[in-house]
């Protein structure tokens, strides 16, 4: 019994019955039947099937693995393209606003006062006057004030009343270095003294000075000093007025053309810098007004304009 071809389109029984019922062809004009092929032969594939399908329909497991690899690689490539498109997309205003909001909520920025104080802090020094006890000969602290470095060679501005009756003067720099200092100049009419430190830090920075010509009432100012020896301490307020006068309750000395401010200042702030939000020194804190014996801050402080202070050390006017 013959085996039918695997891919024949006609049922085998139907083809045999047609051949058996056909009348004989005495003239021999009937077309010969196509030769029968053995089952499993490559030629058993229908002649009208495309070549690519014949290759796929063959029993070759390697072809399946190849197509699987192609599919995987295609999907991977599409994933890379998608990631690149997402990563390089144009930022919108909404994206920027969200980023700014996240930064403000999680990374608090320093205030303008903090930035100003930080810029001048390396130039602020504590000034201490000393006297010898008449009986024991031991050094006794005479007074504590503040000073500010205006020349990086160790030239310091402070108030005259901080060092006036001291037998020796010591300064302590921002990095903790302590040194003796000598008084190299005075300007009594403005209660100013110029100190020269005998030893200075290697990286000493001088403060930046600014003219008071454009200073306006209401402008924010910052005072840095050692109130009651505590510090350096920072306080902030505004310029309350310009061209003020003050009479010292101790010496009766009259000071004129002063800057009035309301940043907190107490004994120990004397000689310290009064600075703007740009971190520039516009004055030297010199007095507070308090008509009571308490000698504490009531909201009115005075500073000598830096123009006067600069002239005390022979610096050119602004």
pLDDT (tens digit per residue) in 184-228: 999 988 999 999 999 999 999 999 999 999 999 999 999 999 999
The C-alpha angle with vertex 146 and arms to 142 and 147, in degrees rounded to 5, equals: 120
Can you give the pLDDT at residue 296? 86
Nearest one of 192, 138, 191, 188 to 168, comparing CA atoms: 138
Asked whether residue 188 is domain-assigned, the answer is yes
CB-based contact 192:184 (threshold 8 Å) = no
Can you give the pLDDT at residue 116? 96
CB-based contact 113:238 (threshold 8 Å) = no
Residues labelled as active-site residues: 161, 191, 270
Q: Based on the fold, state whether residues 135 and 254 are members of the same structural domain.
A: yes
Q: Is the pLDDT score of 86 beyond 90?
A: no
CB-based contact 170:226 (threshold 8 Å) = no
Q: Based on the fold, state whether residues 167 and 293 are members of the same structural domain.
A: yes
| Residue that finishes a domain, picked among 86, 108, 130 | 108
**Cis, bond preceding 102 (omega within 30 deg of 0):** no
Q: Based on the fold, state whether residues 217 and 257 are members of the same structural domain.
A: yes
Asked whether residue 9 is domain-assigned, the answer is no
Separation between Cα atoms, residue 165 and residue 78, nearest integer Å: 85
Q: Based on the fold, state whether residues 91 and 202 are members of the same structural domain.
A: no
Asked whether residue 308 is domain-assigned, the answer is yes
Q: For residue 155, what are the domain limits?
A: 118-312
List Cα–Cα distances, 208 to 14, 121, 224, in angstroms: 112, 11, 14
Nearest one of 197, 137, 128, 129 to 165, comparing CA atoms: 129
Q: Based on the fold, state whether residues 157 and 280 are members of the same structural domain.
A: yes
Lowest-pLDDT range, 11-20, 124-133, 305-314? 11-20
Q: Is the pLDDT score of 302 beyond 60?
A: yes
Q: Based on the fold, state whether residues 103 and 124 are members of the same structural domain.
A: no
Q: Is the pLDDT score of 176 beyond 60?
A: yes
- Count of other CB atoms within 10 angstroms of residue 115: 14
- Alpha helices (runs of H) in 121-182, residue ranges in sequence order: 160-163
Which residue in this structure is represented by tokens 């100003």?
116
Q: Based on the fold, state whether residues 65 and 187 are members of the same structural domain.
A: no
Give 271's DSSP letter: T
Q: Based on the fold, state whether residues 127 and 249 are members of the same structural domain.
A: yes
- Model-level pTM? 0.66
Separation between Cα atoms, residue 263 and residue 9, nearest integer Å: 105
C-alpha count within 13 angstroms, C-beta hemisphere, residue 254:
3
**Residue 72: pLDDT band by 50, 70, 90 thresholds?**
low
- Please tell me the total count of domains within the chain: 2
Asked whether residue 271 is domain-assigned, the answer is yes
Six token digits for residue 105: 């909520």
* Bigger pLDDT: 166 vs 37: 166
Asked whether residue 32 is domain-assigned, the answer is no
Q: Based on the fold, state whether residues 222 and 269 are members of the same structural domain.
A: yes
Separation between Cα atoms, residue 188 and residue 155, nearest integer Å: 18
Q: Based on the fold, state whether residues 78 and 207 are members of the same structural domain.
A: no
Q: Based on the fold, state whether residues 210 and 306 are members of the same structural domain.
A: yes
**Strands in the chain per DSSP E:** 124-132, 139-151, 155-159, 168-172, 178-187, 192-197, 208-209, 220-225, 233-247, 254-261, 273-276, 280-288, 301-305
Q: Based on the fold, state whether residues 49 and 173 are members of the same structural domain.
A: no
């Amino acid at each position: 019994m013959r085996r039918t071809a695997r891919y024949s389109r006609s049922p085998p029984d139907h083809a045999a019955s047609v051949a058996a019922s056909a009348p004989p062809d005495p003239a021999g004009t009937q077309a010969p039947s196509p030769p029968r092929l053995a089952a499993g032969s490559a030629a058993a594939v229908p002649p009208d099937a495309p070549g690519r399908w014949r290759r796929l329909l063959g029993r070759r497991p390697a072809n399946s693995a190849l197509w699987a690899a192609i599919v995987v690689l295609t999907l991977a490539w599409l994933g890379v393209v998608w990631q690149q498109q997402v990563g390089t997309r144009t930022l919108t205003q909404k994206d920027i606003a969200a980023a700014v909001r996240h930064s403000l909520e999680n990374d608090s920025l320093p205030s303008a006062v903090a930035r100003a104080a930080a810029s001048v802090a390396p130039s602020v020094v504590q000034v201490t006057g000393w006297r010898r006890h008449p009986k024991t000969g031991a050094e006794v602290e005479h007074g504590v004030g503040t000073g500010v470095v205006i020349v990086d060679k160790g030239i310091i501005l402070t108030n005259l009343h901080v060092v006036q009756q001291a037998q020796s003067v010591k300064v302590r720099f921002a990095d903790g270095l302590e040194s003796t200092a000598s008084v190299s100049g005075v300007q009594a009419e403005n209660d100013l003294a110029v100190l020269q430190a005998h030893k200075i830090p290697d990286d000493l920075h001088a403060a930046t000075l600014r003219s008071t010509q454009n200073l306006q009432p209401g402008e924010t100012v910052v005072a840095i000093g050692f109130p009651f020896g505590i510090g350096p301490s920072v306080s902030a307020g505004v310029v309350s007025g310009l061209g003020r006068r003050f009479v010292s309750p101790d010496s009766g000395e009259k000071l004129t053309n002063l800057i009035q401010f309301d940043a907190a200042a107490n004994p120990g702030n004397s000689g310290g810098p009064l600075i703007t939000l740009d971190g520039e020194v516009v004055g030297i804190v010199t007095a507070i007004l308090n008509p009571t014996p308490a000698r504490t801050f009531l909201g009115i402080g005075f500073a000598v304009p830096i123009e006067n202070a600069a002239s005390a050390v022979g610096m050119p006017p602004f």
